[in-house]
Amino acid sequence: MGRLPVIDTGVAVNTRSLTRTLFLGSADVVRLVRQRGLSTCIEGMAEYIEAEFRRWPQFDKSPRLAAHSASGVIELMPVADASRFAFKYVNGHPSNTGQGLPTVMAFGVLADVATGAPRLMAELTIATAMRTAAMSALAARWLARPGSRRMAVIGNGAQSEFQALAFRDLVGIRELRLFDTDADATAKLAANLAGQGLTLTRCASIAEAVRGADVVTTVTADKTMATIVTPEMLEPGMHLNAVGGDCPGKTELHPGVLQAASVFVEYEPQTRIEGDIQQMPHDFPVTEFWQVLAGTAAGRRSDVEVTVFDSVGFALEDLAALAYLHEAACELGIGQQVDLVTASPDPKNLFATLSASPRPVQLPSAALAA
């Protein structure tokens, strides 16, 4: 699943063909999603993510490298196993929409570990939205109460439609209770979800939205230490899918909510820095989600237990998304092969690629005189 082709180095090959990279621009990704269908892509990414998380110990992992500013953050997210290396470039700038720019923009690379050759370079803004929703729904399959049908969505921006459809298809959610401080955002979400088989209720407050919800998804953008969900809003058996608290100084859950719940994370060293648990003591207990998949740790233990998935987004999800895009693009014939890196006829003579017909080096006249 999503593996790069293995090249037999014992056979003479065209060097240029080995360094060519499949490029998927924004239009290519849109075309791919339209041809396959959004639901199919989200479900496919969830399958890829689960497969990779089940191989968790085989990956070389690290927290992402982040450059923070007053207006947002720019990050690099690397991960690798024995055969593939991937990274994603992604930003998060909440005020971008005022300038006509997306809050999140991303691209990524999938490379062959054996040679270092980049095999795929892809626009990942849409794919990031899909893989984030896929990861949330995958976690909820294991952590939400069986039979969950009602979800509150707090924050109705660019990620909200993807979350709604992922939970509809992968978890069985049928009713959404919507709230955003921006009424236009809620109207946008409702319009986009019309005819999607979901019952939509616009709510006047967070408390109203979460009342009676089986699942609460928080996906807000403001870079503040917010307490969107507070302890008095919790109900027995509730699952909280906390997506928006994803960088230092940005939270969504009151500390009391975390204290009252069993908390699950993707990669603990990263979530301690960026997630809602950044506000908790360093020894606050959490469980990495891969352990639940592996059967080495319990997920939900009862119908009355409150669970939290403190999601910040981890690079392994992006590797899975890139692998999914690579396989789908090859199958559908989408994308262009580009010369992203130089392929020299003689890999030991890079300088010669600058001249069609290499000539002897000409020394300066002063050097000849000497």
Cβ neighbours of residue 289 closer than 8 Å, sequence gap 6 or more:
53, 139, 142, 264, 265, 266, 309
**112 is annotated as an active-site residue:** no
- CA distances (Å), origin 319, targets 89, 199, 365: 12, 34, 54
Q: Which one is catalytic: 28, 169, 180, 246?
A: 246
Contact in structure between 88 and 107 (CB atoms under 8 Å): yes
> Which positions are catalytic?
246
